[in-house]
Amino acid sequence: MRYADDTLLGFAGPKEEAEEIKQRLAQFLHDELKLEISPEKTLITHARTQAARFLGFDITVHHNDRKISGRRRSVNGTIGLRVPRSVVVAKQSQYMKRGKPAKRPELLNQDDHVIMSTYGSEYRGIVQYYLLAGDVFRLARLHWAMSASMLMTLANKHRSSFSKMARKYKATVETPHGLRKCFEARVEQPGRKTLIGRFGGIPLRQNKNTVVTDRQLAPVNIKRKKLVTRLLAGRREACGRVDEVEVHHVAKLADLGRPGNRPPWADLMAARHRKTLVVCGSCHADIHGRSVAALAEQSLESDVR
């Protein structure tokens, strides 16, 4: 059960009366509910000149005296929600180091679509929460920081460049406001739904009708080891076919040799930072430079021992 005690009260009147109401509320909470209010957090602000921070939003009252001929100034007195600058800076700093976007080392061993899905879900959650704000466009700065961090992570993983990763994964997606640019990583699965990792493609426009849902935390699911997932997929990582598979092992990645002097399967293992490679019997025999029958006989002898 979650305990929520954040409250925002609106009052039209003199500040002295607002102070009196605050004192009466504090007295009631102390006497009747045995609760104490925090003086540092219980503030009285002027809605037009000072924003009230509530549930991550800055809440103000709009005011604009610019005259527009033939039309009335209907914006005056309406409530406005804004994205706090401190929120943008705090969220942005999670993807930066020394003032610049930086890679995330903890994601380097993940597949490309997993990396993109991770960034995409984090960005989408923030944007969808602040779609009620009139200045949600301020999250464009966060989009820049996160996309740069994501492309740097992918570039570091593949020993490639930022621009090459951007060209490889750039895409467009249809939205209610037309086509939008985004980044997409796809994994084709024969007979199954294609896996799509997407970042961006969300119009930064206010949506007054959006519904912010405070979902309950999902139970933690223990994921399978990466090798188990690769084996269950039944896909040969060297040739791409789907059939019975075997696993090729090396003692350490240094045994793969230097770049430029090694076969494609070794480059694939090095790029993934994996000492294992799921292959078919034929590819496994080619790796060891022996026939399939000889390799099977050797495997049988080792099992007997």
At 147 the pLDDT is 96
At 74 the pLDDT is 66
Q: Six-digit token pair at 116?
A: 């993109």
At 68 the pLDDT is 61
At 62 the pLDDT is 77
Q: CA-based angle 280:281:283, to the nearest 5?
A: 65
- C-alpha 146/C-alpha 127 separation (Å) is 12
At 256 the pLDDT is 76
Strand ordering across the sheet containing 170-175:
170-175, 178-187, 195-200
pTM: 0.66
Asked if residues 155 and 162 have their Cβ atoms less than 8 Å apart, the reply is yes
- C-alpha 296/C-alpha 249 separation (Å) is 15
Closest CA to 126 of 81, 179, 83, 96: 83
Residues facing residue 61 across a β-bridge: 79
How many CB atoms are located within 10 Å of the residue 218 CB?
6
At 169 the pLDDT is 93
At 146 the pLDDT is 96
Q: Tens place of pLDDT for every residue, the chain, 305 residues?
A: 455 677 888 888 888 888 888 889 888 888 888 888 887 778 888 877 888 888 888 888 877 766 565 666 666 777 888 999 999 999 999 999 998 999 999 888 888 989 999 999 999 999 999 998 988 999 999 999 999 999 999 999 999 999 999 999 999 988 888 888 999 998 887 888 888 889 999 899 888 777 766 555 455 444 555 555 655 565 556 666 666 777 777 887 777 777 777 777 777 777 777 777 777 777 777 777 655 444 444 443 444 34
The single residue listed with the structure tokens 């049988």 is 300
Residue 150 DSSP SS3: helix
How many CB atoms are located within 10 Å of the residue 282 CB?
17
- C-alpha 103/C-alpha 95 separation (Å) is 8
